[in-house]
Structure 1
Amino acid sequence: MDTNATAAPAVPCRADRPRIYVACLAAYNGGRLHGQWIDATEPDEVREEVRTMLADSPEPDAEEWAIHDHEGFEGCRISEWASFDSVCALADFVEQHGRLGARLYGHFEDNLDEARAAFDNHAGEYRSLADFAEEITRETGPEIPAALQYYIDWEAMGRDLELNGDVFTITLGFDEVHVFWNR
């Protein structure tokens, strides 16, 4: 590999926007590093920036590219051959929903449509699944007599809701459990 290789001049990227590093494969296969960080905004804008990067390649007639890196996607996987349409759609989703959206995307095996649809069934954020079980029981059931309240195992009820497939959870941190209905 050419140790004196340089990348294409950097185009200013917004620090808060997910972005991808797109590399010229002709240069890469020739032992040179040539590519560019590009904000994952609109697919047509990304395609135009890639065309410009390829036109500036040190290798003549460069046509092929690959996504060699990404950042700001909260841990989502991105294939080096992902379409710019799907990358930009994922960037929008992650910008809108943050880590929770990214974790949902992974939960649904990188299916963005299913991750989006899950928000229609978001029951809310709770300290634990037991807190969720207690809340829905108190909201939907008859009043629990004071003498019986301490005999109810809310943890078991929450666990049963999840084991029975009624809900699934995404845990983002201590005391931050997001509960989703499986509908």
Structure 2
Amino acid sequence: MRIYVADLAAYNNGILHGKWINATDDVADMSREISDMLKASPCPNVMREDWICDDCGETKRRTLSDFGPNPVPECPECGDPMRLVERFRSAEEYAIHDHEGLGKLGEYAGLDEVARRATIAEAAEDARIPVSVLIEAMNDYADDDEDAEDFISDRYRGCFDSWRDMAQEFTEETHDMSEIPEWLQGHIDWDSVARDFQCAGDVVAYVDDYHHYFFWTH
């Protein structure tokens, strides 16, 4: 799972400059890699500075403003004034122009969303669910603090070829079919049972490559 981050200043000048970044890295690491890529831009359009705190070693990179003073920053960890390490030209903006293994991802998706997608993709692979399906289901029904593994454990019903197959298997699992005579079982209208499941709204299906992936809605 990775993203290709493109330097927009270079791109707009007809130059391809960017970097593939591992999407399973934490957000801070991805941000540093992007910042370093923009620092090496062939089309810099802003001035930036690197600062360091001599007391705790915390670092900070900032873009200088053309519309007011740029005071010495305070360390976000200990509050002490930081020391200027380097001032340099850099590009300012980037976009995600390609990605692998993360479902449908917009080019201006934030790094928090990239990290979230990577976590979901890992859980989806383990459960053999398409990444795009799990992302869509979680966007629709997951609680704000619910992670992918818990969501799958609590909500995922399974993969079936149709609503009929899901309805039949669920009914046979949850009811004692031996109480129904065999000759009568053959007359059960499973398509009608499946329509009842669809109308009830307790379970929803996401279709991918003709397979139906079912999730409980509550």
Query: Where do residues 137-156 of structure 1 align in structure 2 (5 Å cutoff)?
Result: 137-142=171-176, 143-156=179-192
Correspondence 1:180 to 2:210: no
| Equivalenced residues, count | 163
Structure 1 residues 110 and 90: alpha-carbon distance in aligned structure 2, compared to 1, 3 A threshold: farther
Task: Check the 8 A contact 1:101/1:115 in 2, yes or no.
Answer: no
Task: Check the 8 A contact 2:164/2:191 in 1, yes or no.
Answer: yes
Deviates most, 109-118 or 44-53:
109-118
More strand by share: 2
Q: 1:144 Cα deviation (Å)?
A: 1.3
Q: Which residue of 1 aligns with 2:112?
A: 85
Structure 1 residues 106 and 182: alpha-carbon distance in aligned structure 2, compared to 1, 3 A threshold: closer
Q: 1:64 Cα deviation (Å)?
A: 1.5
Secondary structure (helix, strand or coil) at the match of 1:81 reads coil
TM-score (norm 2): 0.64
- Out of 100, 106, 122, the residue aligned to residue 71 of structure 1 is 100
Correspondence 1:103 to 2:139: no
Q: Which residue of 2 aligns with 1:11?
A: none
Q: Which residue of 1 aligns with 2:199?
A: 163
| Alignment partners' CA distance in 2, 1:127 and 1:111 | 22
| Alignment partners' CA distance in 2, 1:122 and 1:157 | 20
| Alignment partners' CA distance in 1, 2:6 and 2:113 | 18
Structure 2 gaps of 5+ residues are 45-88
Task: Check the 8 A contact 1:168/1:182 in 2, yes or no.
Answer: yes
Secondary structure (helix, strand or coil) at the match of 1:58 reads coil
Structure 1 residues 111 and 133: alpha-carbon distance in aligned structure 2, compared to 1, 3 A threshold: closer
Identity of aligned residues (%): 42
Secondary structure (helix, strand or coil) at the match of 1:148 reads helix
Which of 1 and 2 has greater Rg? 2
Q: 1:163 Cα deviation (Å)?
A: 2.6
Q: 1:173 Cα deviation (Å)?
A: 4.5
| Alignment partners' CA distance in 2, 1:27 and 1:139 | 59
Structure 1 residues 115 and 148: alpha-carbon distance in aligned structure 2, compared to 1, 3 A threshold: farther
The one-letter amino acid of 2:216's match is W
Q: Which residue of 2 aligns with 1:21?
A: 4
Root-mean-square deviation (CA), in Å? 2.6
Deviates most, 103-112 or 156-165:
103-112
Structure 1 residues 30 and 153: alpha-carbon distance in aligned structure 2, compared to 1, 3 A threshold: same
Structure 1 residues 110 and 68: alpha-carbon distance in aligned structure 2, compared to 1, 3 A threshold: farther
Structure 1 residues 70 and 101: alpha-carbon distance in aligned structure 2, compared to 1, 3 A threshold: closer
The Cα offsets for residues 89-133 of structure 1, whole Å up to 9 and x where unpaired, read as: 101211220343421323566887589465222122334332332
TM-score (norm 1): 0.75
Task: Check the 8 A contact 2:5/2:34 in 1, yes or no.
Answer: yes
